[in-house]
Amino acid sequence: MTEAEDALRRWAEAGLIDAETAERIRQFEAARRREARPGIAIPPGERPGLVEVLLYLGIAVLSVGVFALFAQGWSGLQSLPRLLAVGIPAAFALLVGALLRTLGEPGYRRGAQFSWAAAVALAAGTVAVLLYEYEPLGISRDDDQAAMLIVAGVAVALALLLWALNPATFQVIALAGSLFFLGQAIGNWPESFSARLAALSLVAIGTVAILLAELGALSPRPAARAAFAVVLAFGAYQPGFRDGGSPWELLAFVAAAALLGLGVYRASFAFVLTGVALLFIALVRAIFQNFSDQVGAPVALIISGALLIAAVLLLARLVPALRRGQPA
Amino acid sequence: MSRLPARWFAVIVLGGLASVLVAAVVLLRLGVTDPSPPSLTRDPNPAIPGDLLYLDSGSCLVLARASGESSRSVHCTGLMPRRLFFLGQQEAGYLVSSISGETLVVVDLQSGAEVERRTVGPSDFPELLAPDGTRVFRRDDGRLDLIRDGAVTGTLSFPGLDWAPEHVGWSPDSQWLAFLYFPPRERSAELWLVSRDGAIRGTLATNATGSQVAWRIEGLPAWPAPPR
């Protein structure tokens, strides 16, 4: 029993308020709580059920089975069985997703999202196997760069189509994942992997996607914000700490500041959390990469610890304001 | 859930952006650097001395001026020889392995004809040492250290590559190195010549193969030394 409920019962027993007034107070407080924290009130059907959980489990087991096949019996299979071993689960996941969407229940709709997200990964795997086994269009199996770009392009195209048909959380995650893969494939195109090319692609993709989310064109907005903030943050971090130092290191700090500013301006916890995480990781990495020789590892660790505390305090300062939906 | 037009607007924007990025890198080659040094056949460099013997992608011996001024195919081996040698001014040789041991096939450089085959003693080529004893040490960061008498005497870097090309030979004066670079997308290996200090570089051939080249400079013993 909550403290408020306890007080109401005590006041009713003492005759200070009647039962009708106590009930009206209960309803008023419940409505106020729902308004303040809409996530607490779960409409019927929104809570995941047993059937839905089993559905997720089935799709996950199916996907894991395909990858386990790679690890174990792959070398013993001919080309066609290899292609079918990935292609059939991909087609099955697409079909299951389409079927579940027609059932209408919220749980089944979420299952459809999950199934279609898995279908994107399995379809990408199917194209990769097709390229490797049959070398179509003169694309050699040794040409990893072209193959990776084609696989990523197919994954992005399918993820975009499925998101357009069903703009839901898992479709946004699949879209962000496939665009992230495309960014890495672009970085992989030159003779040696170019972290800068990959990073610039990811920053461009993340920025445009966040802009679309804020304009309301990329939905659901919370998922789009979180997924593409991570894409942007990873892209901004990638070149400075792989290809060797400044000025590319600065990109991570600029992106972190932009995410923090946007998070405060748009009252988005996802932006703030990603910005703080990026700022923390980039600062620690920059200290160890550039100054650990001068200050020594223990001092670098102390500074890192202080930065972690500062990051937590910054989050603690911003979170209440974000919950209220107001700038800090 | 967003309205249909807004949804398709997002699809067009994101799909268009992805297409533009791919086209910029693949078609326009924006941000793509070519790690290969300038072609010596197009623009010969007289500063690079001597003659080289290397294998082309058809396993034929090619005799080339190191400066890039000229080259000609001498003799097709039909296999992948282990080692190449200059044997005086008129002859070259290559080692092939057989059940009885190593066989040295001697070829006339003018006519390209096989002159003789003889069995040579077990030869040991653990690494490609320079005539002055310098050895190449491959570092994890894609650079190569040149080590002589236990001290690093120089470092070669290869911008645009994560992994240094394969070292395949030294010039007889120990001032030049030969490398094989294997580019992606099934292009044939390139034969690069690089000065010891890394300042002068050139691509001598774009159809090379094998694991070693032979080099000769007038007035110096050819390198590597032929087997006894």
Domain residue spans in chain B? 1-32, 51-216
Interface test with A, best of B4, B22, B190 (most A CBs within 10 A): B22
Name which of A193, A194, A208 is nearest B14 (Cβ-Cβ): A208
10 Å CB burial of residue B200 (0-12, 13-18, 19+) is middle
Q: Which residue of A has its CA nearest to B36?
A: A191
Enumerate the H helices of chain A as residue ranges: 3-13, 19-36, 50-71, 79-101, 106-134, 144-165, 169-187, 195-215, 221-237, 249-265, 269-286, 292-295, 297-323
B160 interface with A at CB cutoff 8 Å: yes
Same domain, A120 and A234: no
Same domain, A108 and A211: no
Interface test with A, best of B1, B9, B14 (most A CBs within 10 A): B14
Q: Is residue A114 part of a domain?
A: yes
Contacts 24+ apart (CB under 8 A), A179-183: A179/A205, A179/A209, A179/A231, A179/B14, A179/B18, A180/A205, A180/A231, A180/A234, A181/A124, A181/A151, A181/A152, A181/A155, A181/A156, A182/A149, A182/A152, A182/A153, A182/A155, A182/A156, A182/B18, A182/B21, A182/B22, A183/A231, A183/A235
Same domain, A55 and A187: yes
Q: What's the domain count of chain A?
A: 3
Q: Which of A193, A227, A260 is the last residue of a domain?
A: A193
Q: What is the mean pLDDT of residues B57-62?
A: 92
**Among B168, B181, B187, CA closest to B54:** B168
Same domain, A212 and A189: no
Residues within 8 A of A (CB atoms), B 4-23 only: 6-11, 13-15, 17-18, 21-22
Q: Is residue A39 part of a domain?
A: no
Q: Which of A137, A168, A193 is the last residue of a domain?
A: A193
pLDDT band with cut points at 50, 70 and 90 for residue A198:
very high
Taking only the tens place, the pLDDT of each residue in B7-31 is: 899 999 999 999 999 999 988 887 7
Backbone angles phi, psi at A40, to 5 degrees: -70, -40
Does pLDDT of A191 surpass 70?
yes
CB pairs under 8 A between A and B: 99
Same domain, A107 and A27: no
Q: Which residue of B has its CA nearest to A144?
A: B185
Same domain, A239 and A173: no
DSSP strand pairing (B60-65 vs B51-56)? antiparallel
Residue A78: domain span = 49-193
Look at residue B168 in the predicted model and tell me its pLDDT: 93
- Strand ranges, E, within B171-200: 176-181, 189-195
Q: What is the mean pLDDT of residues B92-117?
A: 87
Does pLDDT of A38 surpass 60?
no
Residue B8: which H helix or E strand, with range?
helix B4-26
Look at residue A328 in the predicted model and tell me its pLDDT: 40
ipTM score of complex: 0.76
**Among B211, B167, B18, CA closest to A184:** B18
Same domain, A70 and A7: no
Q: Is residue A143 part of a domain?
A: yes
Instruction: Kindly list the residues from chain B whose CB atom is less than 8 angstroms away from the CB atom of residue A144.
Output: 184
Does pLDDT of B104 surpass 70?
yes
A149 interface with B at CB cutoff 8 Å: yes
Taking only the tens place, the pLDDT of each residue in A50-108 is: 777 777 788 788 778 777 877 777 778 888 988 998 899 899 999 999 998 888 777 78
Same domain, A207 and A187: no
* CB distance A186 to A149 below 8 Å: yes
